[in-house]
Amino acid sequence: MLAGLGIFIIVEARGWEYLGPDGPGPGFFPLWYGVCMVALSVFLVAMSFAQSASGAAKAVDWREVGRALAAWSGLALCLGLLKVLGFLLAFGLFTFFLVAVMYRRPLGVALAVAAGMSAGFYLLFPLALNVGLPVGKLGF
Partner 1 sequence: MDVLGYILQGFAVALSPLNLAWCFVGVFLGTVIGVLPGLGPAATIAMLLPLTFRMDPTGAVIMLAGIYYGSKYGGSTTSILLNVPGESASVVTCLDGYQMAKRGRAGAALGIAAIASFIAGTVGVVGLMLIAPPLAKFALSFSSPEYFALMCLGLAMVVLLAGESMTKALLAMLVGLWIAGMGTDLFTSTSRFTFGSAELLDGIDFVVVAIGVFALGEVLGNLEVRQGPQMLPVPKGLRNLMPTWQDLKDCRFAFLNGSVIGFVIGVLPGAGSTIASFISYGIEKAVSKHPEKFGTGVPEGVAAPEGANNSETGGAMVPLLTLGIPGSGTTAILLAAFILWGLRPGPLMIQDNPALFWGLVASMYIGNVMLLILNLPLIPLFAQILRLPAYILYPAIFGISIVGVYSVSSSLFDAWMLAAFGLLGYAMRRLDYPAAPLILGFVLGDGMERALRQSLMMSQGDLSILVSRPISATMLFLTVLMLIAPLFRRANAWRVKALS
Examine residue 14 and tell whether it contacts partner 1 (CB under 8 A): no
Examine residue 107 and tell whether it contacts partner 1 (CB under 8 A): no
140 vs 136: CA distance, rounded Å? 6
Closer residue to partner 1, CB minimum distance, 79 or 127: 79
Examine residue 68 and tell whether it contacts partner 1 (CB under 8 A): yes
Contact 7, 34 (CB under 8 A): yes
Angle at 64 between CA 61 and CA 69, to 5 degrees: 120
Collapsed DSSP state (helix, strand, coil) of residue 66? helix
With CB under 8 A as the contact rule, the residue among 4, 11, 14, 44 that binds partner 1 is 44
The burial class, CB within 10 Å (0-12 / 13-18 / 19+), for 87 is buried
Q: Point out which residues bind partner 1 (CB under 8 A).
A: 2, 5-6, 9, 12, 16-17, 19, 22-26, 28-30, 33, 36-37, 40-41, 43-44, 47, 61, 64-65, 67-68, 71-72, 75-76, 78-79, 82-83, 87, 91, 94-95, 98-99, 102-105, 113, 117, 121, 125, 129, 131-134
